[in-house]
């Protein structure tokens, strides 16, 4: 049996979901305490059994649960887009929001 994968305190975590045109990055977070994401998911689903059904998992609800437990801290971030199709004209920078 393999060892559980642990989110380690102090590490940066990118939270994303979806595929293709529905792909989104929800944000970047610092892990505040070591935790097992699979065990947290299982606990969340035990508390919210309707989310076990196909197409009923609420990503925001699970992320909110991790934040409420003090496992993660959201980090504001900007975007540095290096181009699409190797065209420097598509380069753009969006700074992190202030405050």
Q: How many CB atoms lie within 10 A of CB 5?
A: 9
Confidence of residue 2 (pLDDT cuts 50, 70, 90): low
Q: How many CB atoms lie within 10 A of CB 32?
A: 16
Helices (H), 29-97: 37-47, 59-68
- pLDDT beyond 60 at 1: no
Rounded CA separation 14/21 (Å): 18
Rounded CA separation 28/22 (Å): 18
- Rounded to an integer, the average pLDDT of 72-95 is 93
Residue 5 has a pLDDT of 93
Residue 85 has a pLDDT of 86
Rounded CA separation 54/39 (Å): 19
Beta bridge partners of 17: 24
């Amino acid at each position: 049996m393999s060892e559980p994968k642990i989110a380690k305190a102090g590490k940066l975590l990118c939270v994303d979901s979806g595929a293709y045109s529905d792909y989104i990055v929800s944000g970047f977070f610092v892990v505040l305490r070591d935790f097992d994401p699979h065990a947290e998911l299982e606990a969340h689903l035990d508390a919210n059994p309707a989310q076990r059904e196909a197409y009923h998992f609420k990503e925001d609800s699970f992320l909110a649960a991790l934040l409420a437990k003090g496992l993660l801290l959201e980090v504001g971030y900007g975007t540095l887009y290096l181009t699409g199709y190797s065209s420097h004209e598509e380069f753009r920078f969006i700074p992190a929001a202030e405050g």
